[in-house]
Each structure stands twice: as structure tokens, then as C-alpha cells.
Structure 1
Amino acid sequence: MMHMTFNGVRKTNIYLLEGRQKGPFAPLNREITSIGRSHRLRRTDKGLLEIQQPIGYKAITRDDALRIKDEIAAWLVTDSWAPLQFDDELGRTYWSVVDGTLEDLARDSRSVLWRGTVKFLSAYTTGQEHEINVPTTYQSFTIRGQDQTPWTTYTRFTAPRSQYTLETNKGLYVLLNYNFIEGDILRIDYSKREVTLNNKDLAVSVSLSTNWAMLQPGTVQVRASEPTTVTYTERYY
């Protein structure tokens, strides 16, 4: 029997039924300017991926059914995006919220089976997490996945430095001006635009020439002024 895990919780008494509806990728909203036979793509916005998943459970009495309904509500209703994983889609996580309610939830004839359809909206899809060890000279790495992805870094300084840089051949450039000493631990979080040194805020060190950019899928050249571990998670359309 197949199940799903949502927000870190897997309910084995609630199982997946056939009939999942999900597009191969999120809808794309194109802004196109046309002049005669010339067409210019001005912008592309990625929409939300809709996932409709039929579920079922067994309830002998109506009290049992009501208890499980309350259990489903407590499980699936969240205030922010939460990870959704299906047993039959290993390695994929849909960061989702429930949209609407289980309008079709009902008892299956006179049996003990109840069924309904959960509608999720997914903001983005992730795969496996990877670490790359970035040296002080340009080295090529393959960024896996289909879509650009955020990243974090970990750096331990082995000698005093007056600057720190991290850069790629595809636009990412981070410059920090600070007197680092041996043993300092530097962390950078792209999503939060957060820079910490020994767990203390170091935003003041970020140069105005810094260009924040996500990692692009495919082959990319990366270097840092101090050996650095960059961590990212695969992203998919």
C-alpha cells in the first residue's frame, strides 16, 4: 500500500488511491511582445504546480470517521510551504500547501472505506542534496537538477585574510571585506542573504560589488579565496 509523507509525518492509516493528477512541470506564464512576424519573449513567470491526490482510509463507525477527519485536518493544514513526498516518487519533494478542502470526501457505498481528493499547490520541487568542495582556482562542477537553485557555504580559515571571495563563471560574485583570522568559521546563506562569522552576523562585511545569484544547472566553474564547501539541493520544474 502506498502512502505519502507531509510536513515530516507519514500516516500509514491513510493510503494513496489511483488517479493522481499532476503536470510534468509547473505552468509557465509568458509575456510576449509581437510586432508583425517578430515575437519577443520579455519575461517568463513560473506558476504553482497543482497536485490532486485521491486518498482513502477505513472507518467502521461514524465516530471513527470523524476522528480521522480531524486527524487529516491537523496533519495537512499548514501556514507555510511544507515538504510533500510520495512513496512511488522516491527522491522528489514537493514544497506544498493544501488548497481548498476535501469536498468529495465520502463513504464508499456501504463499505468501511472512505475516500476523497486532496489538492496541493506546490511552489517548487527538490531532489537530492549535494556538497561541492570549491578550491582557490577555477574548477568545473556539474550542478544537478533542471532549475536554478539556492546554496549555502561553509569556510574555515587556515590563515589570516583581509578579504573573502566566492565566484562562478555565470555571474555569482560575493566579496567580503573583513580581517579574518585563523580558525574563523564563515557561513553564507543565499536564500536569507545571511553572512555569519562564528555564528555572529557579519552583514557589514558584504561589498556593494557583490552579485547574489543562484547556481545554474549544468557545468559551472567555481572558485573561492579560501577552500569552501558549497551545499545545494537539486531543483526541478
Structure 2
Amino acid sequence: MVEAWGIDGEEVKITMPTESEVFNMASASEAQHRERMGKAKLLPDAAAISGIKGFELSKTPVEIKGRDWLLKVVPCIGGRMISMIHLPSATQWLHSRVEADGYEEYSSIEYRSAGCSEEYQVVGMVCLRVHPTFTLLHPAEVLVVFDSIDGTKHEIRPEAGEQTLEGDILPNGEWMLVDKCTGLGLVNRFDINQVNKCMIHWGSRTVNLELWSVERPVSVETPWRFLTNTR
């Protein structure tokens, strides 16, 4: 991915890495991937361990039902949420497969970093990254709306591309995904003292509304968590 800032009408110049630099980056990334795959602990097969006393691993989603919502989580992948249905409107908000997407949480800034699908130990800095993938029933009729910390109002649509929100333009503790075709909106509230930045990433029929914490060391004595509410 290449990012650059410019003004409409001006020439934008982007310095590209040399061929050797690209080769070195690709080699380093491949080596890092091989190292992580070698250390990754695969999920045990449910049939293979079903006979162990006091232990059962389920691949069957567990339903959690409230007055307005029906949630489905899968125990064998860390209790990750794969379905979030609004009962009054029969609307499914999450885009998910068992092996990916849904409501994911990462332990660092990297996509699907340690803890997303395997056991891990913290050996350095941690950045909590909340990564829900919402489905768009009407991609051309959706937008994200919020008031920022500085009091300005924002409406961000898919054509705006990926957006990083931080500093004074960080949502002031609340942002909403709106489907104008159905008149429905999904509101996410969070503590601005826990969130360092927000990110919006539009797909063809999905959108990620991410929350990022600051990066800092953690321990048993100094845990790190998000308090967030979606309705």
C-alpha cells in the first residue's frame, strides 16, 4: 500500500524503494511469516480430544439472545463473535466466516496478529486493535457519521477510501454506521481515554470500524482492555 498527501491539481511525487530494498523487505516478511507459522499452535480437532475428561472443544456456534439481539460465538476460536442479528429488523450486521472476519481482536498493530487464532505470550509492547467486519446490504447507501473531539461533524462515505482518525478529529466517544436505504444505524460507543485512534476501511460489501489503543507494556499488575458498547 502506498500513501501520499497532496492538493487537487498539484503533482504528487512518490519516492519508490530500490529493487534491492524491495527484495530485502520481501525476504524479511517471508522469514517472519515462516517463523510465526512454525510457532503457531493449531486448534486441536474436537473428535480427537472428545474423550479427555472435563474438556470439550466445540466448533458449533453458541447463541446468546437478548431482547433485541441474537449473537453467535464460536468457543474453539477463542469465543470470537461471528454473527450479530438485530431481531426487530432481522438485520445481520456482521460479515463473517468461521476461519476469519466477524468481530476480531488483535494484540498488536499488525492485521490478524498473535492471539487472533492461537495461544501467545506477551514479550513486549501491546496495542489492542478491535477489528469488527460489518456487512453492507446497500454499499452505495451507507456512511459513517460522528462528531469529533474538536466539535466538527463528519460524514464519511465509501468513496473516501481508508481513513485514520486521531487527535482532534477522533470521534468523541461515539460513531455510527448508517444504512440510508433501510434507515438503520449501528452505534458504537467507547471511552476516548482508552482509544488512541480509529480507522475506517471500506471493502466492496464490507466495512471495518477499528479502535486502536496506545502501545504500551502490559503485565498481570498492569492489564490493558477496552470498554466499548455497540447497539
> Which protein is bigger by CA-based radius of gyration?
1
Higher relative contact order (CA 8 A, sep 6+): 1
The two structures share one fold, judged by TM-score above 0.5: no
The normalised TM-score by structure 2 is: 0.25
User: Which structure features the higher share of helix residues?
Assistant: 2
User: Which structure features the higher share of strand residues?
Assistant: 1
The normalised TM-score by structure 1 is: 0.25
